[in-house]
Amino acid sequence: MPSHDDATLKFYADSAEVYVASGPGGVSRHLAGFLELLPPGSKVLELGCGGGRDAQAMIAAGHRVDPTDGSPAIARKAEELLGIPVRVMRFEELDVDGVYDAVWANASLLHVPRAGLPAVLAKVWRALRPGGLHHATYKAGEAEGRDGHGRYFSYLAREELVAMYERSGQWEILSVNEYVGGGFAGSQGPWLALMAKKS
């Protein structure tokens, strides 16, 4: 099953400068709560680090962060901010067992085509140590499609999202919160924030 969308990656390659400079300039609204749950000095994998703001905050909090992004252009921009290497990695290329204390995936896994998401989540589960934490945000809905910029999104209902996690590994779902969030170019819409632990 496909785990990435070429048109979406092309958008980020072509728009890296504008995309990285967009947004409110702060970190994810969910990051503080996530950091409160992490043991000191945790090893954290970030999937889809974007411009690197969340990674920068996690590093400042004393964690060992492995930032990754599927777009070489975006990864280069994040390296400029962080001053450390940012790996170019697509989700399907994640292939480690029990390496990370946590996996942070803010507004990134929502680009995985619906049919390929359970396989990617299984890779995330395998990458975590027992008891490891995982956070991800998704656009809520019941269809899949593209926005006005040609980016693919898998819009998921709460029940479908939870079912995908349950099929992909032995997860303990800690929370699934619904909220209204923004997007590129200032659009607003429903989102889901999921926190899970590897059992």
Q: Collapse the DSSP code of 69 into the 3-class scheme (helix H, G, I; strand E, B; otherwise coil) and give the result.
A: strand
The predicted structure's pLDDT at residue 148: 78
pLDDT at residue 25 is higher than 70: no
* pLDDT at residue 24, as a whole number: 44
Q: Average pLDDT over the chain, rounded to whole? A: 89
Coil vs helix vs strand at 188? strand
Extents of the domains making up the chain:
6-198
Q: What is the pTM of this model?
A: 0.89
Which numeric CATH code is attached to 6-198? 3.40.50.150
pLDDT(2) > 70 = no
Residues 38 and 50: their CA atoms lie apart, in Å, by 22
Most confident of 17-21, 32-36, 184-188: 32-36
pLDDT of residue 93: 96
- Dist CA 78 CA 87 (whole Å): 10
Q: What is the pLDDT of residues 127-183, one digit of tens each?
A: 999 999 999 999 999 888 888 778 888 899 999 999 999 999 999 999 999 999 876
How many Å apart are CA 198 and CA 18, to the nearest integer? 36
pLDDT confidence of residue 22: 46
Q: Is the per-residue pLDDT at 9 higher than 50?
A: yes
pLDDT(190) > 50: yes
Higher pLDDT, 14 or 39: 39
- Whether the per-residue pLDDT at 98 is higher than 70: the answer is yes
Cα-to-chain-centroid distance, residue 35: 15
Residues 6 or more apart in contact with residue 18 via CB below 8 angstroms: none
Give the separation between CA 197 and CA 131, rounded to whole angstroms: 6
How much is the pLDDT for 23?
47
> Comparing C-alpha atoms, which of 68, 97, 192, 199 is closest to residue 135?
192
Q: Is the pLDDT of residue 21 over 60?
A: no
Higher pLDDT, 159 or 185: 159
